[in-house]
Amino acid sequence: MRLTEPAHPHLDLAILVQRLAAGEKAWVASPVAERRDLLIQVLEAVDANAAEWVRIASQIKQLDPASPLVGEEWISGPYAVIGYAHALQDTLKRVADGAEVLAGYNISSAPGDRLAVQVLPHHTFDKLLLNGFHAEVWTRPGITEEQLHNGAGLGQRRPEQTNGVALVLGAGNIFSIPPLDVLYQLYAENRTVVLKLNPTTDPLLEIFRAIFKPMIDRNLVEIISGGAEVGSALANHSGITSVHMTGSEATHDAVVWGVAKEAAAAKAAGTPKLDKPMTSELGGVCPVIVVPGEWSAADLRFQAEHVATQRLHNGGSNCIAGQIVILSADWAQKDDFLAALRQALKAAPARPAWYPGCDVRVQTVRDLHPTAEAVGGTPERTLLTGLDLADARESAFSTEYFGPVLGVAELPGTGAEFLDVAVAAANDRLRGTLGANIIVHPRTIKTLGSRLRAAIADLRYGTIGVNAWTGVGFLIPRATWGAYPGHTLEDVQSGIGVVHNALLLDNTERTVVTGPFRPSPRSVLHGEKSISPKPPWFVTNRTAATTGRLLTGFAARPRWRALPAIFASALRG
């Protein structure tokens, strides 16, 4: 069979897979130190191509080159890949040197017989640039510290045991995802990789090929474009030994089970169309649990912007976008918060509904909800209030909207009582387990005591953010990224397996990220241990583009003399 829309017009499918199989044999013979050198070459290539990457990404997303929103493309693009490559090469160096991967990392206990590995802050620059942010990777229950140490390094502990040729079906919304997924297959899973781009990202094909040239030249990686028929042909080719994808649950099921009657029959018989391992990251309906407390007017405004960012970042086209805000019906400031949220949604910078089908999805939601509010700012921004978590028919709890639509549901109670029922509702009523957010005032955190950490343990989500959007977890290279474990092909929800995970940890369950409730200087004035200003990923950050560009350059070449310009830009945001 001949590919119809590949990067190379005359590339035959059999030849492509054959080359990658030959590359696998070469990978077997490559010592870890050599593999690390290749990774560093990729890092340098990302740095060299970063500006052009961002220029093309901004065109794809129809962003004005002068818009602060271009900062999203710096931070969720080359910055994320460079940071990950730096962290992964450090792990490879430890493995190559025969050192403990987790030497120097703080390992503590977590609720439910789990262990927690602190992955942020990792070094002094983390403490300065992400001051007040903290992240841990939690293991599954019952894993011992000895097992944790022995498993760290995954495929690089046994580099000679390779696992064939992987197909990566690339995401079309966040442009660091395809290269990050390729690196994880190559290093964590010890597979050579063909990346089939989502058509949305086709304009970045040559950038990605330039970035991976050191690996393409060695037949370790190939990158092609094409439609669904190309992806299907590759997925079902006998020379492909596994498939990984980032996308929707519907696309996953089409790959695994087929479509229409074929899919129904295959599911009924328990015989997948796909006859090889499949891992995935598929998004879902992400909750934002707002724990009631006594907030100032500034707190209400800032946290409303925080929630608006969780929905509007990338135009709402994020697998980790907050979709359902869970409020206390008994919170005295509930109406004040909703007023601030409406204003934040309206006032956020306008941007086109760039992702294909967004306008149709928004109109479908509005047709189902006659009381939907068009809050302004752009025609698509929509707020749904009065959602009933007891209503089993409510589509907002089961359908990922992938656009600027935010729902609000209320539950009774305050304090720990409210938190417990909100956690239960998030677990039991919302489709998917990729990420959950909790917003809680520092005084309320003190009042809750150990109940907060117990609630975090009870949440069945792969990343949990406390006063920090779970999207921050995507940017932390040593954190894991993926659904809560336990999904199956028959009921995949947010996917199977993890990615990122630069420490190459085994038996992980989730990442927990915490951040400051207030930005500096209010955080300092109120006694919070944080000097971080408004984060550059906020959609309302006025210097996000400059800060994102400076952070990307710093990530590639960390140096003290670069910090003053970053701080100056961040403080103006």
Contact yes or no for 535/471 (Cβ under 8 A): no
Q: Confidence band (pLDDT; 50, 70, 90) for 11?
A: low
Token pair of 552 as six digits: 């990307």
Residue 3 has pLDDT above 80, yes or no: no
Instruction: Please compute the mean of the pLDDT values over residues 140-161 and round it to a whole number.
Output: 96
Instruction: Please compute the mean of the pLDDT values over residues 454-470 and round it to a whole number.
Output: 98
Cα separation, 499 vs 482, whole angstroms: 6
Contact yes or no for 178/168 (Cβ under 8 A): yes
- For 5-19, 74-88, 166-180, 200-214, which range has the lowest pLDDT when averaged over its residues? 5-19
With vertex at residue 468, the alpha carbon angle to CA 466 and CA 473, rounded to the nearest 5 degrees, is 100
Pairing mode of beta strands 382-387, 373-374: antiparallel
Residue 461 has pLDDT above 90, yes or no: yes
Selection from 375, 219, 209 nearest residue 308 by Cα: 375
Cα separation, 40 vs 186, whole angstroms: 14
Q: What pLDDT is attached to residue 240? A: 97
Number of residues that make up the chain:
573
Instruction: Please compute the mean of the pLDDT values over residues 465-473 and round it to a whole number.
Output: 98
Q: What pLDDT is attached to residue 174? A: 98
Cα separation, 166 vs 156, whole angstroms: 17
What whole-number percentage of the chain has pLDDT above 90?
Answer: 95
Torsion over CA: 331, 333, 339, 342 (sign): negative
The alpha carbon of 39 is separated from its chain's Cα centroid by a whole number of angstroms, namely 21
Q: What is the 3-state secondary structure (H, E, C) of 290-353?
A: ECCCCCCHHHHHHHHHHHHHHHHHHHHCCCCCEEEEEEECCCCCHHHHHHHHHHHHHHCCCCCC
Token pair of 168 as six digits: 């990566």
Domains parsed from the chain with CATH numbers: 13-106+153-281 (3.40.605.10)
Cα separation, 314 vs 355, whole angstroms: 9
Pairing mode of beta strands 373-374, 435-439: unpaired
CB atoms within 10 A of CB 31: 11
The angle that helices 450-458 and 415-429 make with each other, rounded to 10 degrees, is 10
Residue 76 has pLDDT above 50, yes or no: yes
Instruction: Please compute the mean of the pLDDT values over residues 102-131 and round it to a whole number.
Output: 97
Residue 94 has pLDDT above 60, yes or no: yes
Arithmetic mean of pLDDT over the chain: 96
Q: What pLDDT is attached to residue 389? A: 97
With vertex at residue 459, the alpha carbon angle to CA 454 and CA 462, rounded to the nearest 5 degrees, is 120
| pLDDT single digits (tens) 340-396 | 999 999 999 999 999 999 999 999 999 999 999 999 999 999 999 999 999 999 999
Q: Confidence band (pLDDT; 50, 70, 90) for 268?
A: confident
In the chain, the largest separation of any two C-alpha atoms, in whole Å, equals 67
Selection from 230, 168, 238, 116 nearest residue 512 by Cα: 116
Pairing mode of beta strands 405-411, 382-387: parallel
Contact yes or no for 322/288 (Cβ under 8 A): yes
485 vs 233, 336, 340, 488, CA distance in Å?
A: 29, 37, 36, 9
| pLDDT single digits (tens) 309-339 | 999 999 999 999 999 999 999 999 999 999 9
Residue 401 has pLDDT above 80, yes or no: yes
Q: What pLDDT is attached to residue 1? A: 32
Instruction: Please compute the mean of the pLDDT values over residues 389-417 and round it to a whole number.
Output: 97
Q: Which residues, at least 6 apart from 220, have a Cβ–Cβ distance to it below 8 Å?
A: 20, 23, 26, 27, 38, 186, 192, 193
DSSP annotation of 77 reads I
The alpha carbon of 305 is separated from its chain's Cα centroid by a whole number of angstroms, namely 20
Instruction: Please compute the mean of the pLDDT values over residues 455-483 and round it to a whole number.
Output: 98
Instruction: Please compute the mean of the pLDDT values over residues 216-232 and round it to a whole number.
Output: 94
Q: What pLDDT is attached to residue 7? A: 45
The alpha carbon of 502 is separated from its chain's Cα centroid by a whole number of angstroms, namely 14
Residue 123 has pLDDT above 80, yes or no: yes
Q: What pLDDT is attached to residue 13? A: 81
SS3 172: coil
